[in-house]
Structure formats: structure tokens, C-alpha cells
Amino acid sequence: MNSFLGALAWLADPANWAGDDGIPVRLLEHIGITAVAVFIAAVIAISLGLFIGHTGRLSFLVVSTTGALRALPTLGLLVLFALWLGIGIGPVIIVLVILAIPPLLAGAYAGVESVDRATIDAARAIGMTEWQILTRVEVPLGLPIIVGGLRSAVLQVVATATIAAYLPIGGLGRYIFDFLPLRRFEPVFAGAILVTVLALVLEGVFAAIQRLAVPKGVRILRGSPAALGAGRPARVEPAADSDGADSGGADSDRPEYGGGPTSSPPASHTHSHPTQ
Amino acid sequence: MIAFEGVSKRFPDGSLAVDDFTLTIPSRSTTVLVGSSGSGKTTLLRMINRMVDPTGGRITIDGDDVAKLDPVKLRRRIGYVMQNSGLLPHRTVIDNVANVPILDGVKKSEAHAHALELLDTVGLDRSLAKRYPAQLSGGQQQRVGVARGLAVDPNILLMDEPFGAVDPLVRDELQQELLRIQRELSKTIVFVTHDIDEAFLLGDQVVILRTGGIVAQAGTPAEILANPADEFVASFVGAERGRRALHIDAEHGDRVLVDGTGRVAGVLTDGPGGMAGTAAGSAPE
């Protein structure tokens, strides 16, 4: 508890909010690393997921990659890539991209897959091209689930981006990795708190975006306004690691995504570092 | 004119849905394909706009082999109406109706204006234009489906059990509306149903199919009723059970009609303008 209060005191110290290693700089670095990794992963995984969902081809890829990629230990992978490519931002981004691909792929695939086959058949029968069916029917109707995949990916990456400091690049992880050997636990705790708060804020933002992603005509279909409330879209989200209380078993209702031992809530990474 | 010439369809799983089917569908009239499930009627319908490609034989529209036409262009000049409307749930009524014309390059304002006229045509209030499909009743959705089918002003309208999922009263209403629309527009309509009464009401030509897309009998409703080709047809139209043989039942007065099963079938009136009889097989015009 003293360490916690110490961390709060450290966070309150204006000195820690200035300079090249101040909190705003580290925060921006952290968000930047997350954004770049999720963006690259999204370009790869969402296009692949949409292709698989639309054509029904290669769907085994979704099951196998989501399972296999999730089983990879992120830190071990980081060391491997660092030995191979040298110290730098490259290995960090690669590792985070690998981490973000499974939820994005699964979300894009499941989003397209969730659209009523009769609706797609009708769209084709009236003369929409395959591209028009994808962009004007499948993506808009599957958007809440696609965004769900993005939400999940962002959450996992923002928590895991902490390890960028291991090389040492930047981001909020620097407070953890730099001060742990010095046994100065206030900044270590403060770093963990900052990562957690950032993760929670992003979670809230994406939960809101996911809700807004439900097309209006579909919201009506679901009936009463109460049905629009908390959790409705989240329940169909591919990897709902994010939902606080029930996060432990969130994968169990979608067995095809192979929730392995690595699918535990990402927030636990940040909590566990200070105690190592 | 649509012509099926020795058309077969074997699905990848090996099942033969249609075997050597030949039929000519005349222009500007309604042809109804009727049969039970497994008769291949929907498969036949979907071959016309290349939603299904035959594995043998060919289909021509006014002499052009459809296999040589681009499927998207072909589908855009053929109206398609299906069960459960198939409307896009995230688009409003007017956007659904104007969808294909806009994709075809018609200006949005023009397409919307035309879509509103089409709502009039199918008997829908223009105030529904901004609603979403989920806000409409089943019957209203089917009307929007018909309006969408008519949006590109097609010569051909394919209808796949369009009234199969609405309740009987609404179905009667929609059938009458379709007859009215057809009187006004004279499209080449190909209509699929499993309901023989619906077939006799709507069809200028009725084609009764048995399993595997084999034509049991094709002709006008009157021809089929007067001379069922075989026992299968007789049984299918209900003639075998006496449902099509009506007599005046003296016990109920001299105007009540009873069929061979003893069911009271309707009332004899002075002309077609009288009370709408339930006597099946009455000619639509």
C-alpha cells in the first residue's frame, strides 16, 4: 500500500511530467507504438479476414492462426527478433503486430460471417458485384464485430507495448524496466498504473465506437432501446478479453478461436511486472 | 421469351436437381412453376438470372444464351423478388428500392423520385420511404421487395415464393395487387410457388413439376383442371380427391357450391364482379 501511495505521489510530482522522459512523452510514445502496430496488423488481418469471410475460402487459416499465434510467448519472440534484426523499434513492432493479428482476423472473419446468408444472396440476385456486396452489405452489417476485433487488438497491444522498453525503446514500460533494477518501486508502480488507465480509457472509447457501429436499421431490428445498452455488441465480439469481470472465460463462448493459456486478460501483464 | 433447352443441373454433391428440362416461357405473361420441395422449381428460376448455372443444356432470353452474358449485367436487367423480401436491413425503404438504379449510374435524385413512384405502384404510402425494413410489416416488406424488383424497369420479373411467408389475408391482398400491377405493366413474370391455388390464380401458364424438374403438365389453369395429364397432376391439383368437382348442393339452397369431398366451396354468383368466391380455379380475368 505504501508503494501504491508512493506511486501516486510520484505521479503527482510535476517534475515527472516534463522533459524527454516525462509522462506526456512516454505516453505519446506508447500510443504511437500501439497505433503503428495495430494499423499494420489491421491492414494485413482485416483484409485477409474480409476475404476469407466473403469467399468462405481458407477459413482454416482463421482457426489455426488465431490458436497458434496466441500460443507464442511475446517476450521470447521479442528477444528472438532482437537477436535476429538487432536492437530497435522493428522487433517491437513485429511482435506487437503478431499479437494483434488473431483478434483482428477473427473479428473481420466473424463479422462477415455473421451477416444473414439470405441478405447476401438477395444482394447478389439483384445484381450487386462481389465487391459491392462486401463493401455495401457485409462490412456495414458486420462492422460491430469487426470493431470488436479492433477493440480487442488495441487492448492487448496497448498492454503488451510495455515490453518495448525491454530493448529499450520507449513508452510507459520504460518506468517499469528502467527503475525495477534500481529497486525504486514508485515509478514502477506509476508506470503500471498509467498503462492500466490508458488501457481502460481506450477500452471505453472502443466500446462506444462499437456501439455506434451498429447500423441504425439493425438497431431497430433488435427492438427496444434497452437492447442497445451495455454489453449487447460485446457479447458477439470475437475475443472479449476486455470485459473486466468475466474476462477470464470470455473466450469460452467462441471455441473456434482457441482460447489458449495466453488469452488471459492483458491487464494482468501490467500488474505482474512490478512483482517480478 | 425465355427458353429452357434440355437443361440439367447436377449439384457438386452429386444430386440431380433438374434433368433435361425444356420449356418456353412466353413474353408479357405470367408463368408459374409449381411443385413440392425437391421439384427443382427454385433452381430453374435461379438459372434464368445465372444465380445457378446449368450443368447441361442452355437457357436463352430472346435468343441470347444467358451463359454468354455477364451475370451482374444480366441480373440488373431482371427483377428479382424473394420470400422474406431480402431487403438490406441497414438501408431505408427508398434506398433499397433505388439501390440498383444508383449502382447503374442513375442520379440519386432521379432514382429516388422514381422509387417514390414505385411505392405508389405497389400500393405503399410514400411516408414509409424513410423507414427501415425492420419497421415494416411482412406484407409491407414484400411490397417493397416488388418495388425494388421493378426499379430497373425490367422486362422480366422473377418471383421466388414471394408471398410464402405472409399470413393468408395479406397473401390474398398481395396476389390481387400483383394481378393489378401485371395488368398495368405486362412483364414477363416467372413465379415459383408450392401453392397450386396461387398458381391457378396468377398463372397464364402453369407448369406442374415433379421431383427432378420433370414437367408433369404445362398449360393454362383451365386446361390442367379440365384434363389432368395423369394421376400425379390430378392428385396435385386436388381433382383426385374431388376438390375440383363442384356441384350445386340443393340442401343449402340452389346457389351453394360443394366439392367432391363435401366441403362447401363457394357461392354461385351472376358474374365475375360479384362476391369473391372461394371456388378455386376461377379464372383471374
Q: Which of A125, A215, A221 is facing B80, going by the closest CB pair?
A: A125
* Residues B86, A125: C-beta atoms closer than 8 Å: yes
Cell triple for A151 = 477493440
Q: What is the pLDDT of residue A262?
A: 36
Q: In this predicted structure, which of A2-6, B83-87, B212-216 has the lowest mean pLDDT?
A: A2-6
Range B95-116 average pLDDT? 95
Task: Kindly list the residues from chain A whose CB atom is less than 8 angstroms away from the CB atom of residue B82.
Answer: 118, 121-122, 125
CA distance A211 to chain B (A): 15
Is-contact B18 B7, C-beta < 8 A? Answer: yes
- The Cα–Cα gap between A111 and A100 comes to 17
What does pLDDT average to over chain B?
90
| B71-to-A124, A158, A180, B99 alpha-carbon distances in Å | 10, 46, 66, 17
Q: Which residue of B has its CA nearest to A217?
A: B90
- The Cα–Cα gap between B35 and B44 comes to 12
Domain residue extents for chain B: 2-235, 241-285
> Quick one: CATH architecture of B2-235?
3-Layer(aba) Sandwich (3.40)
Q: Is B220 exposed, middle or buried (0-12, 13-18, 19+ CB in 10 A)?
A: middle
Q: What is the pLDDT of residue A1?
A: 53
Range A189-200 average pLDDT? 93
| Residue A221 at interface with chain B, using a CB cutoff of 8 Å | yes
Residue B79, beta-bridge partner list: B157
With bands split at pLDDT 50, 70 and 90, how would you rate the model's confidence at A96? Answer: very high
What does pLDDT average to over chain A?
80
- The Cα–Cα gap between A275 and A158 comes to 20
In angstroms and rounded to an integer, the radius of gyration of the C-alpha atoms of chain A is: 20
Residue-by-residue DSSP string for A181-196? TTT-HHHHHHHHHHHH
Q: What is the pLDDT of residue A21?
A: 83
- The Cα–Cα gap between B26 and B154 comes to 15
- The Cα–Cα gap between B98 and B151 comes to 7
Q: In this predicted structure, which of A122-126, A192-196, B3-7, B234-238 has the lowest mean pLDDT?
A: B234-238
- CB atoms closer than 10 angstroms to residue B191: 25
Q: What is the pLDDT of residues B183-200, one digit of tens each?
A: 999 999 999 999 999 999
Nearest-CA neighbor of A173 among A84, A244, A247, A92? A92
Q: What is the pLDDT of residue B202?
A: 96
Q: Is A129 exposed, middle or buried (0-12, 13-18, 19+ CB in 10 A)?
A: middle
Domain residue extents for chain A: 2-275
Q: Which residue has the higher pLDDT, A74 or B111?
A: B111
Q: What percent of chain A has pLDDT over 70?
A: 79
> In this model, does residue B217 exceed pLDDT 80?
yes
- The Cα–Cα gap between A194 and A214 comes to 31
B75-78: long-range contacts at Cβ-Cβ below 8 A with a sequence spacing of 24 or more? B75/A124, B75/A125, B75/A126, B75/A127, B75/B49, B75/B50, B75/B51, B76/A126, B76/A127, B76/B100, B76/B103, B76/B104, B76/B152, B77/B152, B77/B154, B77/B155, B77/B156, B78/B48, B78/B49, B78/B154, B78/B155, B78/B156, B78/B157, B78/B158
AA letter at A253? D
> In this model, does residue A95 exceed pLDDT 80?
yes
Q: Which of B82, B90, B103 is facing A141, going by the closest CB pair?
A: B90
CATH class of A2-275: mainly alpha
Is-contact B62 B68, C-beta < 8 A? Answer: no
3-class DSSP state of A246: helix
* Residues A126, B76: C-beta atoms closer than 8 Å: yes
Q: What is the pLDDT of residue A74?
A: 84
| B95-to-A67, A129, A175, A190, B147 alpha-carbon distances in Å | 41, 17, 54, 53, 11
Q: What is the pLDDT of residue B113?
A: 96
* Residues B133, A123: C-beta atoms closer than 8 Å: no
- The Cα–Cα gap between A148 and A131 comes to 23
Q: Which residues contact B213 (CB under 8 A, 6 or more apart)?
A: B7, B9, B17, B18, B19, B21, B39, B40, B41, B43, B44
Cell triple for A211 = 456501439
Q: What is the pLDDT of residue B125?
A: 94
| B248-to-B243, B274, B276, B280 alpha-carbon distances in Å | 14, 17, 17, 15
Q: What is the pLDDT of residue B220?
A: 95
Q: Which residues contact B55 (CB under 8 A, 6 or more apart)?
A: B8, B9, B10
| B20-to-B45, B80, B230, B231 alpha-carbon distances in Å | 15, 25, 20, 22
> In this model, does residue B256 exceed pLDDT 70?
yes
CA distance B111 to chain A (A): 16
Is-contact A170 A256, C-beta < 8 A? Answer: no
Task: Kindly list the residues from chain A whose CB atom is less than 8 angstroms away from the CB atom of residue B118.
Answer: none
> In this model, does residue A181 exceed pLDDT 60?
yes
Q: What is the pLDDT of residue A236?
A: 38
Q: Which residues contact B227 (CB under 8 A, 6 or more apart)?
A: none
CA distance A236 to chain B (A): 18
> In this model, does residue B121 exceed pLDDT 70?
yes
Q: Which residues of A58-76 are buried (b: 16+ CB within 10 A; e: fewer)?
A: eeeebeebbbebbeeebee
- For residue B280, give the DSSP letter: T
> In this model, does residue A53 exceed pLDDT 90?
yes
Q: What is the pLDDT of residues A226-262, one digit of tens each?
A: 333 333 333 333 433 333 333 333 333 333 333 333 3
- For residue B277, give the DSSP letter: -
Q: What does the angle CA A217 – CA A218 – CA A224 come to, to the nearest 5 degrees?
A: 100
Is-contact B241 B48, C-beta < 8 A? Answer: no
Task: Kindly list the residues from chain B whose CB atom is less than 8 angstroms away from the CB atom of residue A137.
Answer: 88
Q: What is the pLDDT of residue B224?
A: 93
Q: What is the pLDDT of residue A82?
A: 85
Q: What is the pLDDT of residues B12-26, one digit of tens each?
A: 998 889 999 999 999
> In this model, does residue A122 exceed pLDDT 60?
yes
Q: In this predicted structure, which of A34-48, B60-74, B172-186, B242-256 has the lowest mean pLDDT?
A: B242-256
Q: In this predicted structure, which of A211-220, B26-35, B122-131, B245-254 has the lowest mean pLDDT?
A: B245-254
> In this model, does residue A69 exceed pLDDT 90?
no
